[in-house]
């Protein structure tokens, strides 16, 4: 009986010592957390998508609270979340232009030619290392293996008929698809842009016509007919200056290859 009592006393004393040590350690190494940081973290969507440029929502909350990042840094939350965070920080929320991902390629299975048949890896980066940078005859086009689709957390991009297409309403412009595309043909553009060029090929027109029926042939008709000088052919592909574009869509009508898309 005395042995049981002794063991109980020893265990109890050990527990007390551990408790005292943990209490001392907690006070000694306590790091004060900014209440605003916790409030900002609650206001953020919690997707941890990395679209803001930080490792996750917690990292972004810390960056905003310390003044390293603006209150509108979260692309997923948009203007609503920016206003909430601005209220927490006691500042005004600057207006944030909504953006959306856009794939600069129209080379579907029907319009884009292939130089060989391929069945294998469904990773675009791996396919881009194959001969000719993949089976498509156009070296600038979408590889169609869906790496962008796999990383999208918002069901906003899918490979349809051999080319990636964006669901504009689902897209939050997190930028994951932009970063993973080995062809570098996905950009974030203003959501309100009335038109955009669906081609990235820098090959001369005669080369483009041999490999894709829906590629820019650098005919300059869009450039010649634009009343505001908002579209120029640069490196054999049309490029739109959205600051000059007034949405007249004359370029859409004049494009013989229907490469300029309207929204």
CATH at residue 60 = 1.10.15.40
57-65 helix and 35-43 helix, angle to the nearest 10 degrees: 130
92 vs 84: CA distance, rounded Å: 10
Domain count, the chain: 3
For 47, left (φ over 0), alpha (ψ -120 to 50), or beta?
alpha
183 in a structural domain: yes
Instruction: Of 51-60, 152-161, 173-182, give the lowest mean pLDDT range.
Output: 51-60
pLDDT tens per residue across span 181-228:
999 999 999 999 999 999 999 999 999 999 999 999 999 999 999 999
Q: In which band, very low, low, confident or very high, does the pLDDT at 5 lie, cut at 50, 70 and 90? A: low
| Of the residues 192, 220, 236, the one at which a domain ends | 192
| Residues above pLDDT 90, as percent of the chain | 60
Cβ neighbours of residue 209 closer than 8 Å, sequence gap 6 or more: 215, 217
Look up tokens 């005395």; give the residue: 2
Q: Are residues 210 and 160 in the same domain?
A: no
Same domain, 69 and 102: no
Please answer whether residues 103 and 183 qualify as being in contact, where contact means their C-beta atoms are separated by less than 8 angstroms.
no
- 13 within domain boundaries: no
Q: Which of 143, 165, 192 is the last residue of a domain?
A: 192
The whole domain housing 43 covers 35-89
The residue ranking higher by pLDDT, 142 or 91, is 142
If residue 100 lies in a helix (H) or strand (E), which one and from where to where?
strand 99-103
Q: Is the pLDDT of residue 95 over 80?
A: no
CATH of residue 238's domain is 3.30.70.20
pTM: 0.77
Contact (CB, 8 A) for 145 and 159: yes
């Amino acid at each position: 009986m005395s042995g049981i009592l002794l063991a109980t006393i020893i265990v109890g004393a050990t527990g007390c010592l551990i408790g005292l040590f943990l209490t001392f350690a907690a006070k000694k190494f306590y790091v004060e957390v900014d209440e605003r940081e916790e409030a900002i973290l609650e206001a953020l969507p919690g997707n941890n998508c990395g679209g803001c440029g930080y490792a996750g929502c917690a990292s972004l909350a810390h960056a905003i609270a310390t003044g390293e990042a603006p209150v509108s840094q979260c692309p997923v939350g948009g203007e609503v979340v920016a206003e909430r965070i601005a209220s927490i920080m006691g500042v005004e929320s600057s207006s944030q232009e909504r953006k959306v991902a856009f794939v600069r390629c129209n080379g579907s299975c029907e319009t884009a030619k292939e130089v060989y048949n391929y069945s294998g890896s469904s990773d675009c980066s791996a396919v881009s290392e194959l001969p000719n940078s993949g089976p498509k005859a156009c070296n600038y086009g979408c590889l169609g293996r869906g790496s962008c689709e796999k990383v999208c957390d918002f069901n906003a991009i899918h490979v349809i008929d051999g080319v990636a297409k964006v669901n504009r309403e689902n897209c939050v412009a997190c930028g994951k698809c932009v970063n993973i595309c080995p062809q570098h043909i996905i950009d974030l553009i203003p959501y309100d842009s009335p038109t955009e060029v669906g081609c990235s090929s820098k090959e001369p027109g005669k080369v483009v016509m041999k490999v894709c029926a829906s590629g820019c042939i650098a005919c300059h008709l869009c450039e010649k007919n634009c009343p505001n000088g908002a579209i120029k052919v640069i490196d054999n592909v049309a490029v739109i200056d959205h600051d000059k574009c007034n949405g007249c869509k004359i370029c859409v009508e004049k494009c013989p290859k229907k490469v300029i898309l309207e929204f």
